[in-house]
Structure 1
Amino acid sequence: MQKTLYSLALASLPLMTLLSGSVLAIPEGKTECIAPAKPGGGWDFTCRSVARTLQELDLIPAGMQTINIAGASGGVAFSHVRAKRQGDEDTIVAASTATTTRLAQRRYAQGNADQVRWAAALGADYGIIAVAKDSPYATLTELLDALEQDPGSVSFSGGDVAGGFDHLKVLMSARKAGVEELRDIKYLAFDSGSVAITQLLGGHIDAFTGDLSEALGFVESGDLRLLAVFSEERLPGEFSGIPTAREQGIDVIAPNWRGFYLPGGISDESYQWWVDNLDTLYASEEWKQVMQDNGLLPFHKSGEAMTQFVNQQIQDIRELSDTLGLVQ
């Protein structure tokens, strides 16, 4: 895709950089962020909040449009990027631990991590388990006790496919609680966290497994009650009242990083331009406010460090999934 130099960015580059011929390629006009889910979920939040902040900080030359490509817990979008967006330097794709989980379990058709370029993680969204406000379960312990008595007695909804990271949070917790028949636990997958929560509030499901950012609006409205957050310790500020799973005797930690990958086949210069600008975004006061408002905690990796992290996480999740019989 043809690129041009952007005068403001060029003016700020050191003279030696200009003379060396290593000026970074940047988008010419509007850019796109692909959210691999329907509007309202975590990936949609990632795209829209980053797009808004990039524009506020004048880090992109024009607007950024969010494109929703739902299906197969990110698999449809991954296949689309691999087949249709190779070398597209104007596109970023929202990703998270759910993405690496599906890659680890070989759930993306002929998909693997080295077919795209991993750009950055811009925060961590910790996992939660929640119930409707009128649920009979007041604590995580009560809910898991019910599963221990009868693994099929509690149904869960999540914005991820069966065997995905949302599902794994429940399975890991149940295993820690002594539930033996993990395959009997009911999990219903939906295309986004918001849809999964709507099913819960409609009385069709007993509990929701997902991430704090997905549930926050429903908690603030009083419709949803959080039983546990899967963090090392209680979250700061307004989230400090949420008990951790660990303090309830369930030693499970489940951070869900939120960030981006780029299409394979893009130039090193374009890749580095996106990495640098996402680094700048992460360091800004504007992004710190977005994180605070949406329950994201500091977590940042980019460039080669991000690629190494993704590869290691895929290896770790594959080993866990293999133990639970979830790897294809």
Structure 2
Amino acid sequence: MKITHITTAFVCALGLGTPVFAQSEIDNPECVAPANPGGGFDLTCRVAQTGLEPHVSEPVQVTFMPGGIGAVAFNQFNTNRTDDGSAIVAWSTGSLLNIILGKYGEFDENDVRWLATAGADFGAVVVSADSEYNSLKDVMDDLASDPQSVVVGAGGSVGSQDWMKGALLMREAGGTPMQMRYVAFDGGGDAIAALLGGSIEVYTGDVGEMVPYLESGDMKILATLAPERLDAPFDEIPTAKEEGYDVEWTIMRGFYMGKDVSDADYQKWVDAFEAAYATEEFAKVQNERGLLPLNMSGEELTSSINTTMGELRTIATEAGLIQ
């Protein structure tokens, strides 16, 4: 069973919105990253903070709400902040998967308002700069011969998208996902700290969150899980497919709001994103964060989310994660 191309519809839809030249008047705009600093949710909010700056009346502030890889925030915005028109919350493909697996409690995809995308990201196989692993083949050989000798970690529990990346690698090495020695962390930032500290050996993270660490030389990306090589600064990094391993993982990133947010407040944010999408500056922000310019908002995004949730439910069922 092959788990790939879960966001094909998203990645193919690169439409630009109609330019909106007036700034959206949003009081105290906030982007909630539902994890600790340093991971993919943090990255997503930074795209909003920087990319929307010319298009909102006040700077977007980033706050952190860790817990359950997004579960605490999802429940918060389904209880106490359902009508908060000033706040948006970062999500990714992993968030959608967690909803399907019931990890976000009683609420599902119909209990929030899907707002806009920040872009697309891709999985990555990452090790520390001083690791004995210098290629994906090195890792795969050890996974094939002695899975328990390789400590894999990421910002998600068993069944999460980060776990699935490792599970796909494990299957491609000829084993089963349950043979993988996996350590779960509450967000990518914690997993990266563990990698740098030597607690884990391989991090199945995302390309976008690696930008500052590539510049510092602290880590090595052995391969991306993209369908083809990415643009600079990742153009020297081979894909897993190039290395002979049929593994891909595409991550979409975006924002949602509480389900009771007024149409007027919701539209202010939609207008701001549509205005940003129409500029070269926003595309530059996406590129600097390692994201593909995946631009959708409002009803178009909501429709695509519904389609993607159906695809993910099929994948999760095939993987034995849900009955």
TM-score relative to the length of structure 2: 0.88
Which residue in the other structure is 1:272 paired with?
A: 267
Counterparts of 1:296 and 1:64, CA distance in 2: 20
Q: Deviations over 1:146-181 (max 9, x none)?
A: 1122222211111222211111111122223322x3
Q: Structure 1 residues 283 and 251 mapped into 2: Cα distance closer, same or farther (>3 Å)?
A: farther
CA shift, 1:28, in A, is: 5.0
Which residue in the other structure is 2:105 paired with?
A: 109
Which residue in the other structure is 2:154 paired with?
A: 158
- DSSP-derived class of the 1:322 partner: helix
Does the Cα contact within 8 Å between 1:103 and 1:314 map onto a contact in 2? Answer: no
Q: How does 1:8-157 map to 2 (within 5 A)?
A: 27-55=25-53, 57=54, 59-157=55-153
Q: Structure 1 residues 164 and 63 mapped into 2: Cα distance closer, same or farther (>3 Å)?
A: same
Does the Cα contact within 8 Å between 1:151 and 1:182 map onto a contact in 2? Answer: no
The count of aligned residue pairs is 303
- DSSP-derived class of the 2:131 partner: coil
- DSSP-derived class of the 2:272 partner: helix
Q: Structure 1 residues 49 and 170 mapped into 2: Cα distance closer, same or farther (>3 Å)?
A: same
CA shift, 1:63, in A, is: 2.8
* Structure 2 letter corresponding to 1:191: D
Structure 1 stretches of 5 or more lacking a match?
A: 1-11, 14-25
Counterparts of 1:308 and 1:253, CA distance in 2: 24
Q: Does 1:216 align with 2:211?
A: yes
Does the Cα contact within 8 Å between 1:104 and 1:315 map onto a contact in 2? Answer: no
CA shift, 1:38, in A, is: 1.0
Q: Does 1:194 align with 2:189?
A: yes
Which residue in the other structure is 2:288 paired with?
A: 293
- DSSP-derived class of the 2:43 partner: helix
Does the Cα contact within 8 Å between 1:116 and 1:263 map onto a contact in 2? Answer: yes
Q: Deviations over 1:239-296 (max 9, x none)?
A: 1101001111222221111110111012223323322211211222221221222211
TM-score relative to the length of structure 1: 0.87
* Structure 2 letter corresponding to 1:226: I
Counterparts of 1:304 and 1:28, CA distance in 2: 20
Which residue in the other structure is 1:225 paired with?
A: 220
CA RMSD of aligned residues (A): 1.9
- DSSP-derived class of the 2:117 partner: strand
Counterparts of 2:229 and 2:80, CA distance in 1: 43
* Structure 1 letter corresponding to 2:50: R
- DSSP-derived class of the 1:47 partner: helix
CA shift, 1:29, in A, is: 2.0
Does the Cα contact within 8 Å between 1:27 and 1:89 map onto a contact in 2? Answer: no
CA shift, 1:120, in A, is: 1.2
Q: Deviations over 1:114-170 (max 9, x none)?
A: 000111112111110111122222221221221122222211111222211111111
Q: Structure 1 residues 27 and 78 mapped into 2: Cα distance closer, same or farther (>3 Å)?
A: farther
Larger Rg: 1
**Stretch of structure 1 that moved more, 67-76 or 289-298:** 289-298
Structure 2 stretches of 5 or more lacking a match?
A: 1-20
Counterparts of 2:173 and 2:82, CA distance in 1: 45
Q: Give the number of the structure with larger relative contact order, counting CA–CA contacts within 8 Å between residues 6 or more apart.
A: 2
Q: Percent identity?
A: 39
**Equivalent position to 2:236, from 241, 251, 275:** 241
* Structure 2 letter corresponding to 1:306: L
Which residue in the other structure is 2:14 paired with?
A: none
